[in-house]
Structure 1
């Protein structure tokens, strides 16, 4: 579908390696101008390097596309604002935000340090909020000025955040938060012409090889879905979380109201056990936590 994103401007965070790299290349392949954001850290968030982002920019330009590198820490509120400004100043606007940046520091819950918790939640959850907050403000101002854009946000959740994953309590909590953020942002930003969805990619990356080994799908398998969600054609899809595993696309179904029991007034604690067990018996069994 050549030209699917012709004339559109996209930011992809964490685009120097892995899944984000493939997103940036795919968006450019379909005609988007891309701001390639990457801090250049290792898989655990240590270190900084400008190399990965510039390498992806070079690949895009070699293919005839337009791209610029950005080395911002996306969880830094002011740096995220500058990231959005760079897209607008360089390419004349912003149509697409793909939030992808992150790293892992996996531990069993009882071994997780405060620093590890704070670092992982910061890069994933605040690292989604900060760019989204500034992009949303830009789109709101555009709409108020009569220039409503067909803007698209694609966040990155995970099966770990949706079903849970043993040994990844911090990562799972952050990714669950991203799913919740996606639902709220989709509702709040619809008035400005913005759709907000999330993917839950299954892929072989630096982050997954240590946990699941190398027997996982290619990271590039996720990017065609992101490219379509980034297009003007996807305006009727919002507030969804989509799992992608190789050639399989699965629409995730989150928390919904299930069986209920009602009585006048408050419950007596002595009665709660029987009621809850009866409700559990009527409800579908939850999917198993990964690694259980």
Structure 2
């Protein structure tokens, strides 16, 4: 019997693939048989990852998801190279911290552009391709996973831009799921707690570590590798009847929300 989470024959775009969770997701989907289409602004990192995974398993695209023209060109190139896109992981994100009363308009907009508008641009462009492909009779899988955060559910101190963007991602997920479910496209989100990546180095430092761990019932932070698996699950046929849902992967940090 085939493994229920296999991704063989699928072409999957992973944004923010140059490091952290995006890199781990890229490795996971390739391990499950997919072709990974890697997107990041960090050209050296994403090209090195593509080279390590091998040209037959991964290809790199360098650019920002906040640039709608780049997104359109990247998706068009992916379709031209591979024939179809079957999955999208909207993972690219940045952090620009400041307390609300000290946050500049520029700092607010930088995070909104990448973490919210970037998700919309990728979802819209890939979604249109999937709609066209399915309407033409291609019965292949079509799944989108948007990476959100528990900051979208609990709020966050010093990152109102990040919390607002990630809350918006939940709304995008539910709206797209409702519009596209009958067409055969599944759209879900994953909300992470604190994952051991470069982006969370500050909150995992000695100054905050004990306080943050005290809020996690499992008593530890997550590794990027272990949180990549639920993302792969939502991409796979094992989640074929799941859409419009927000899966919390947080060690119990947020329960019942």
Query: Aligned match of 2:81 in 90, 94, 112?
Result: 90
1:216 aligns with 2:218: no
Q: Provide, for residues 225-262 of structure 1, a one-character-per-residue CA deviation record: whole Å limited to 9, x for no partner.
A: 1111111231101111111136x698864xxxxxxxxx
Match of 2:213 in 1: none
Match of 2:45 in 1: 52
Measure, in 1, the Cα distance between the counterparts of 2:248 and 2:35: 26
User: SS state of the match for residue 92, structure 2?
Assistant: coil
Match of 2:248 in 1: 243
Across the aligned residues of Structure 1 and Structure 2, the Cα RMSD in angstroms comes to 2.0
TM alignment of 1:11-160, pairs within 5 A: 11-40=13-42, 50-61=43-54, 66-160=57-151
Decide whether the 8 Å contact of 1:83 with 1:131 is kept in 2.
no
After TM superposition, the score normalised by the length of structure 2 is 0.88
Match of 1:286 in 2: none
- Aligned pair in 2 of structure 1 residues 171, 250: CA closer, same or farther (>3 Å)? closer
Measure, in 2, the Cα distance between the counterparts of 1:134 and 1:179: 18
TM alignment of 1:252-291, pairs within 5 A: 253=257
Tell me which of the two structures has the higher relative contact order, counting C-alpha pairs closer than 8 angstroms and 6 or more residues apart.
Answer: 2
Q: Which runs of no fewer than 5 residues in structure 2 stay unpaired?
A: 210-219
Measure, in 1, the Cα distance between the counterparts of 2:92 and 2:83: 24
Decide whether the 8 Å contact of 1:35 with 1:67 is kept in 2.
yes
Q: Provide, for residues 112-132 of structure 1, a one-character-per-residue CA deviation record: whole Å limited to 9, x for no partner.
A: 000000000000001100011
1:7 aligns with 2:12: no
1:3 shift after superposition = 7.4
Decide whether the 8 Å contact of 1:34 with 1:67 is kept in 2.
yes
Match of 1:180 in 2: 171
Measure, in 1, the Cα distance between the counterparts of 2:32 and 2:253: 21
- Aligned pair in 2 of structure 1 residues 252, 76: CA closer, same or farther (>3 Å)? farther
Measure, in 2, the Cα distance between the counterparts of 1:58 and 1:250: 38
Match of 2:212 in 1: none
Decide whether the 8 Å contact of 1:221 with 1:245 is kept in 2.
no
User: SS state of the match for residue 201, structure 2?
Assistant: helix
Q: Provide, for residues 41-70 of structure 1, a one-character-per-residue CA deviation record: whole Å limited to 9, x for no partner.
A: xxxxxxxxx1111111122118xx511001
Match of 1:205 in 2: 197
Q: Which has the larger radius of gyration?
A: 1
Match of 1:47 in 2: none
Q: Provide, for residues 169-188 of structure 1, a one-character-per-residue CA deviation record: whole Å limited to 9, x for no partner.
A: 11000000001110001111
After TM superposition, the score normalised by the length of structure 1 is 0.78
More displaced stretch, 196-205 vs 26-35? 196-205
Q: Provide, for residues 130-154 of structure 1, a one-character-per-residue CA deviation record: whole Å limited to 9, x for no partner.
A: 0110111111111221224320000
1:171 aligns with 2:171: no
User: SS state of the match for residue 75, structure 1?
Assistant: coil
